[in-house]
Amino acid sequence: MAMVLCGVYTAAAAPARAQEPQLDLRIEGDLPFRADQLTDALRLRLHDRELAPTVTVIGDGDVVRVRMAGKERVVALEGTSGLAAARRVALAVVDLAELEATPPQLAPVPARAPAAAPAPARTDAEAAASAETPSLRVTGSVRAPRPPRLALAMYPAVQVDAHGGAVPGAALEASLALGGAWCATVQVGWQAGPDATAGGERVAMTELPVRAGVGQRRGALAWRATAIALPYRVSGGRGHTGMELGAGASLALFVPVGAVTLVVAAGADGFAGRTRFQIHGEDAVATPRLAGWIGAGVAWEWRR
Q: What would the pLDDT profile of 86-115 be if each residue is shown by its tens digit?
A: 888 888 887 777 766 555 454 555 555 555
* Amino acid code (one letter) for 105: Q
Please enumerate, as own/partner, the contacts of 102-107 that have beta carbons within 8 Å and a separation of 24 or more: 102/50, 103/50, 104/50
How far apart CA 7 and CA 25 sit, in angstroms, is 5
pLDDT at 136: 44
String of b and e for 244-263 (b: at least 16 CB within 10 Å)?
bebebebebebebeeeebeb
Q: What value does the mean pLDDT take over residues 171-195?
A: 90
Q: 180, exposed or middle or buried, with CB in 10 Å at 0-12, 13-18, 19+?
A: exposed
Average pLDDT score over residue span 103-128: 51
Residue 264 pLDDT greater than 80, yes or no: yes
How far is the first Cα of the chain from the last one, in angstroms, to the nearest whole number? 15
Provide the mean pLDDT of the chain. 76
Whether the per-residue pLDDT at 140 is higher than 80: the answer is: no
More confident residue, 245 or 53: 245
Least confident of 9-18, 26-35, 102-111, 278-287: 9-18
- pLDDT at 188 exceeding the cut of 90: yes
Rounded mean pLDDT of 109-125? 52
H-type alpha helices, 120-216: 124-130
Closest CA to 33 of 78, 98, 81: 81
- Predicted local distance difference test score (pLDDT) of residue 144: 55
Residue type, 85: A
Q: How confident is the model at residue 266 (pLDDT cuts 50, 70, 90)?
A: very high
User: What integer pLDDT is reported at residue 124 of this predicted model?
Assistant: 44
Q: What count of Cα atoms within 13 Å lies in the side-chain half-sphere of residue 10? A: 8
- Eight-state DSSP code of residue 69: T
d(CA 294, CA 298): 14
Among the listed residues 232, 222, 217, 212, the one whose alpha carbon sits nearest the alpha carbon of residue 169 = 232
CA-nearest of 172, 170, 174 to 185 is: 174
Q: Where are the beta strands (DSSP E) in the chain?
A: 3-10, 22-29, 54-60, 63-68, 71-76, 135-140, 150-161, 166-179, 182-198, 201-207, 210-218, 221-235, 240-257, 260-271, 276-279, 282-286, 290-302
Does the pTM surpass 0.85? The reply is no
What pLDDT, on a 0 to 100 scale, did the predictor assign at position 51?
A: 52
Question: CB-based burial of residue 241 (10 Å sphere; 0-12 exposed, 13-18 middle, 19+ buried)?
Answer: exposed
Q: What is the CATH number of domain 150-302?
A: 2.40.160.20
283 strand-pairing partners = 278
CATH 2.40.160.20 positions along the chain are 150-302
Please list the residues that pair with 275 across neighbouring strands: none
Residue 93 near residue 66, CB atoms below 8 Å: yes
